[in-house]
Chains A and B, each alone.
Chain A
Amino acid sequence: MLTLRLVYTKENYMKFLSHLELMKLFERIFRFHQLPLKYSEGFNPIPKMTFAAPLSVGYSSLREVMEVQLSEQLPLERVLAIQFPSGIKIIDASYVNTKKSLMAHLSHAEYLIKVDMKKNIEQLPLKEWIEKFLNAETVTIEKKGKNGKMRSLEILPLINRYEIVYQGETETIFRAVLQSGSQGSLNPEALIEAFFGFYQMAHEIQTIQVERRLLLFTDSDGQLKDIFSLKDDV
């Protein structure tokens, strides 16, 4: 059995596809490009595919990672030539020989977050605000738990990096590296709401647009690395 690992984008209108819709799309495109797919056993055989991390509807992404099991090797040029609807593009592919699961090893994700405020915030000292925010004793948000009940979540330990990259009249762009995966995740919109909430300005947020830039795992030295490079020996 062969594992084909792919990196793809999800941009423009395609960001509005739900995770289920995206999986169906991959399945169908692989099918009509006659990839030698491996199927699950049972009454409803489905191709064996795994996605590193579902992306929320409305978020775009420059670098999503998924794996599909094949029964025989297909040249990578052929894989890279597979056409998806405009907005989705395969940008890298490789065969991997690892039992490590993308989902289990994912630890962080990097985001660009574009925030549009209802009023002009050009003069606000956002850089200092971020520093003060990150150094606060505690910042908690209310999050729905698995049992459906609201619980409070301490978010500062989940933030690996948080910085401002652009500050305009009403528009600000932040970059953030946030914990993501099975050990707990922080959603970038929740971060922005908590941040502006910290300064009593959450109600001034007009819209938040999110782009995922990278999916990361933590290697044996504690370094964050692109999950596409996940192998048995790292």
Chain B
Amino acid sequence: MNLEALLHQVEKPSRYIGGEINTFSKEIGDDTIRFCFAFPDVYEVGMSHLGMQIIYSLLNQQKDVFCERTFSPWPDMEALMRENHYKLFSLETKSSIGDMDILGFTLQYELSYTNILNMLNLSGISLYSKDRHDREPLIIAGGPCAYNPEPIADFVDIFFIGEAEEVLLEFLEVYRPYKSGQISKNEMLLKAANIPGLYVPKFYQPTYDESGILLGYQRTEAVPEKISKRFIRNFDEGFTLETMIVPFADIVHDRAMIELFRGCTKGCRFCQAGMLYRPIRERKPETVINTIDKILSSTGFEEISLTSLSTMDYSKIGPLVTDLVEKYEKENISLSLPSLRLDSFSIDVVEEIQKVKKTGLTFAPEAGTQRLRDVINKGVTEANILDTYKNIFSLGWHRVKLYFMIGLPTETTEDLDGISEIANLGTFTFKQVKPEYMKKSVQVTVSTSCFVPKPFTPFQWMAQETVDGFYSKINHLKTKLLNKKVVYNYHDPVTSVLEGVFARGDRRLSKVIETAYFKGCKFDGWAEFFKPKLWDEALKECGIDPDFYTSRERSFDEFLPWDIIDAGINKQYLISEYQKALNADSTADCRDGCTGCGLNVNLIGGPC
């Protein structure tokens, strides 16, 4: 059966057709490096990812590289493909993925690992790196989860640690002589392993003690002891995405995206991104405005999103928003800001961009009491929350969403009760300050997620809350959040605990992922496909106790699986932040003075 015949039978066939505006088509010659960017989730999720757009554009600007895309087929499509022996294909040329030179996965979340195996299997590619012959594609991977690559280290040939724009091009320099047959695969991998930022796991063999604790890695070749992360030093002048693929299907984030800055100076202790993407690097407002012009004039998007880890902290956000609104209002192009701070300044900016329309607003106090917010160093005060309520409700908003985490270190019942108090404060304040014309009633939505301690954060040593513990906290909140104007949503603890296993796992988990995959696990991040029972079986069959990775507190001197990666931050800094957390001591924003994480000394060699 041909592809069209399959497409006639599936839901949303436009996921598989390619040909969107600004996609590439290139002549494929003998020396063309065929690269396929692989997103281990469905098209609508993958296409919302800015990193994919950046790499697609960057690689296709290289003369001898043709970068195509592939995504996880939805289960209806997968079933048809398997039934008809149709292999996974690229969207651009509909080539079998097995014909690619390089397959590059992005690792955005741990629960996509089984989808990676499924994509390899659907392509007819051997799962284990050691089993792949020279004719099979080289499997590379990058993205935030690459900072602890160990759970999938047996499947991947090379991990890219940190920002890939520069190192991808450096890597191609060592790939070309391999492609032309001048050097062997092993020689190519060895050269790659000596490029800063590239981790080739096969040259690093883990050793464990009898209790299963990692002792370290033995290097089997002349490769660096640690792999330091890469980042673009001059972000304003570095590679800038000036056009985007415009998807047909209604994807999750369907709009023009421009990164205002990378990094974050807030120092929230739970936040892995805040630690990984240091230092802070802003783009100039002129660069931002010029880039938006270029993107809009080649895509026709009707919305612009100003992205970053904390957009309100862009040093010139006020004037930038005013300029953009003025420039694009006439063309009916709207502006969206992905993250809002709880302060009056943010409200002024929001008012600017939503002059007429009052969509819901979302804020993240993260924890219910001042004490716990100090523990996690989330610089939000009770006064900030009250002021925000007063501001938004008096301006005519009537719906607000609040995000919290449960299972944070030192959390008590009082902290949980604080969540309900913050929600009630919202409904109470609404009645006091709402404008006279407001006839609608207030709605406060409280969402809780289950905290997963992540590598390279001050909480990387702590025990994660157990599934039962999370449930009892959720049940407690259910009994507290009885206010009829408050809606309570919570994230499933079972998936968060499995995420916790992989977030801090070691290489022994590769076998578990393979076992779970062959039992039928895939799309684990999707509630309708998540099969916890099969994961339990897989863990048992592999003799792996998940509690070892989740609810076990590590000592500061234990060698951690990700200690082979140098993220630039000193361990001593993380320890001191952890100890400050336990005492509910906050640390100031490092824009206001260096807090000594070590990045400047370790990776920059000067001030940030």
Residues in chain A within 8 A of chain B (CB atoms): 13-14, 16-18, 20-21, 24-25, 27-33, 39, 43-45, 57-58, 85-87, 207, 209
Asked if B332 and A28 make an inter-chain contact with CB atoms under 8 angstroms apart, the answer reads no
The reply to whether B300 and A28 contact each other, CB–CB distance below 8 Å, is yes
B-side contacts of A45, CB under 8 Å: 332
Q: Which residues of chain A are near B556, meaning CB under 8 Å?
A: none
- Least CB distance from A97 to B in Å reads 26
Which of B18, B21, B331 is close to A28, meaning CB atoms less than 8 Å apart? Answer: B21
The answer to whether A13 touches B18 (Cβ under 8 A) is: yes
Residues of chain B within 8 A of A20, CB atoms compared? 250
B392 within 8 A of A: no
Q: Find the A residue at minimum CB distance from B3.
A: A13
Contact B248 A25 (CB under 8 A): yes
B300 touches A207 (CB 8 A): no
A12 CB → nearest B CB, Å: 8
Q: Could you tell me which residues of chain B, from 13 to 38, have a CB within 8 Å of some CB in chain A?
A: 13-14, 16-21
Please tell me which one of the listed residues A18, A28, A44, A58 contacts residue B7 in the complex, with CB atoms under 8 A apart: A58
Q: A21-B248, A39-B332, A85-B20 are in contact. List 14 more A-B contacts (CB 8 A).
A: A13-B19, A16-B7, A16-B13, A17-B248, A18-B12, A27-B302, A28-B21, A28-B299, A28-B301, A28-B302, A30-B300, A32-B299, A57-B13, A58-B7
Instruction: Kindly list chain A residues whose C-beta atoms are within 8 Å of the C-beta of B297.
Output: 32
Inter-chain contacts of B301 with A (CB < 8 A): 28, 31
Q: Nearest A residue to B18 by beta-carbon distance?
A: A13
Q: Contact at B14–A43, with CB atoms within 8 Å? A: no
Are the CB atoms of A58 and B13 closer together than 8 Å? Answer: yes
CA distance A108 to B465 in the complex (A): 65
Q: Mark B267-299, 1 if CB is under 8 A from A, else 0.
A: 000000000000000000000000000001111
Contact A85–B250 (Cβ < 8 Å): no
Interface pair A13/B17, CB less than 8 Å apart: yes
A209: B residues at CB distance < 8 A? 8
What residues of B have a CB within 8 angstroms of the CB of A39 in the complex?
332
The interface size of chain B toward A, counting residues with CB under 8 Å, comes to 28
How many angstroms between the C-alpha atoms of A129 and B13 in the bound complex? 35
Determine whether the beta carbon of B302 is less than 8 Å from that of A14.
no
Q: Which 9 A-B pairs have the closest CB atoms?
A: A28-B300, A31-B300, A32-B300, A16-B13, A13-B17, A21-B248, A85-B19, A43-B357, A45-B332
In the complex, how many angstroms separate the beta carbon of B44 from the nearest chain A beta carbon? Answer: 12
**Is the CB of B246 closer than 8 A to any CB of chain A?**
yes
B-side contacts of A17, CB under 8 Å: 14, 17, 248
Residues of B within 8 A of A (CB): 4-5, 7-8, 12-14, 16-21, 246, 248-250, 296-302, 331-332, 356-357
A231 CA to B12 CA in the complex, in Å?
Answer: 36
Bound-complex Cα distance A72 to B357 (A): 28
**Contact in complex: A21, B21 (CB < 8 Å):** no
B302–A58 touching, CB < 8 Å: no
Distance, CA A18 to CA B7, complexed state (A): 13
Partner of B17, one of A14, A25, A31, A43: A14
Q: How far is the CA of A95 from the CA of B190 in the complex (A)?
A: 65
Decide if B7 touches A85 in the complex (CB within 8 Å).
no
Chain A residues positioned under 8 Å from B17 (CB to CB): 13-14, 16-17
Q: Does the CB pair A85–B21 fall under 8 Å?
A: yes
Q: 28 A-B pairs, CB-CB below 8 angstroms?
A: A13-B7, A16-B13, A17-B248, A18-B12, A18-B14, A21-B14, A21-B250, A24-B250, A25-B21, A25-B248, A28-B21, A28-B300, A29-B21, A29-B300, A30-B300, A31-B300, A32-B296, A32-B299, A32-B300, A33-B300, A43-B356, A43-B357, A58-B7, A85-B19, A85-B21, A207-B5, A207-B8, A209-B8
Q: Which residue on A lies nearest to B246, using beta carbons?
A: A28
Q: What's the least CB distance linking A210 to chain B, in Å?
A: 10
A32: which B residues are within 8 A, CB to CB? 296-300
* CA–CA, A220 and B331, complex, Å: 41
Which of A24, A30, A209 has the most B CB atoms < 10 Å from its CB?
A24
Question: Chain B CB within 10 Å — which of A20, A30, A33, A85 has the most?
Answer: A85
Question: Distance (Å) between the CB of B509 and the closest chain A CB?
Answer: 38
Report the separation of the CA atoms of residues A58 and B4 in the bound assembly, to the nearest whole angstrom: 9
Using Cβ atoms and an 8 Å threshold, which residues of chain A touch B7? 13, 16, 58
Alpha-carbon distance between A39 and B20 when the two chains are bound, in angstroms: 25
Across-interface contacts of A33 in B (CB, < 8 A):
300
CA distance A13 to B92 in the complex (A): 12
Residues of A within 8 A of B356 (CB): 43
CB distance from B253 to the nearest CB of A (A): 14
Q: Say how far B332's CB is from chain A's closest CB, in angstroms.
A: 5
**Docked pose: A18 CA to B13 CA in angstroms:** 9
Q: List the A side residues contacting B5 at CB < 8 Å.
A: 207
Q: Bound complex: CA of A209 vs CA of B7, how far in Å?
A: 12
Give chain B residues whose Cβ lies under 8 Å from the Cβ of A207: 5, 8
Contacts of B302 in A (CB 8 A): 27-28, 31
Asked if residues B19 and A86 are in contact (CB atoms below 8 Å), the reply is yes
Q: Whole-angstrom distance from the CB of A24 to the nearest CB of chain B?
A: 7
Minimal Cβ-Cβ distance residue in B for A28: B300
Give CA–CA (A31, B21) in the complex, Å: 13
* Chain A residues with CB below 8 A from B16, complex form: 16
By a CB distance below 8 angstroms, the chain B residues around A18 are 12, 14
Q: Least Cβ distance of A14 to chain B in Å? A: 7
With a cutoff of 8 Å between Cβ atoms, the chain B residues found around residue A87 in the complex are 19
Q: How far is the CB of A142 from chain B (nearest CB, A)?
A: 22
Within the complex, what minimum Cβ distance (angstroms) separates B356 from chain A? 6
Q: Kindly state the separation between the CA atoms of A76 and B5 in the bound complex, as whole angstroms.
A: 37
Q: Shortest distance in angstroms between B315's beta carbon and chain A's nearest beta carbon?
A: 31
When C-beta atoms are compared, the residue in chain A nearest to B358 turns out to be A43
Residues of A close to B18: CB separation below 8 A: 13
Q: Which of B7, B14, B300, B301 has the most CB of A within 10 A?
A: B300
| CB proximity of B389 to chain A, nearest CB, Å | 24
Nearest CB in chain B to that of A43: its residue: B357
In angstroms, Cα B301 to Cα A32, docked, is 8
A16 touches B250 (CB 8 A): no
Chain A min CB distance to B247 (Å): 9
CB closest residue in chain B, given A208: B8
Q: How far is the CB of B80 from chain A (nearest CB, A)?
A: 13
Distance A58 CA – B297 CA, assembled complex (angstroms):
31
**In the complex, which residue of chain B has the Cβ closest to the Cβ of A57?**
B13
Residues in A whose Cβ lies below 8 Å from that of B300: 27-33
Distance, CA A81 to CA B301, complexed state (A): 20
Residues of chain B contacted by A14 (CB below 8 angstroms) = 17, 19
Taking CB atoms, residues of chain B closer than 8 Å to A30 are: 300
Question: Which B-chain residue is minimally distant from A209 (CB atoms)?
Answer: B8
| Cβ distance B335 to chain A, nearest Cβ, rounded Å | 14
Q: Which residue of B lies closest to A40 (CB)?
A: B332
B298 contacts which chain A residues (CB < 8 A)?
A: 32
B276 to chain A minimum Cβ distance, whole angstroms, is 34
Chain A residues positioned under 8 Å from B331 (CB to CB):
31
- In the complex, which residue of chain B has the Cβ closest to the Cβ of A34? B297
> In the complex, A87→B8 CA distance in Å?
17
A85, B346: Cα distance in complex, Å: 40
Q: State the CA gap A44–B358 with chains docked (Å).
A: 12
Our pick among B8, B250, B296 for the contact of A58 (Cβ within 8 Å) is B8
Measured CB to CB, the closest approach of chain A to B291, in angstroms, equals: 15
Closest to A85 in B: B19
Cα of A75 to Cα of B5 in the assembled complex, Å: 40
For residue B336, give the distance in angstroms from its CB to the closest CB of chain A: 13
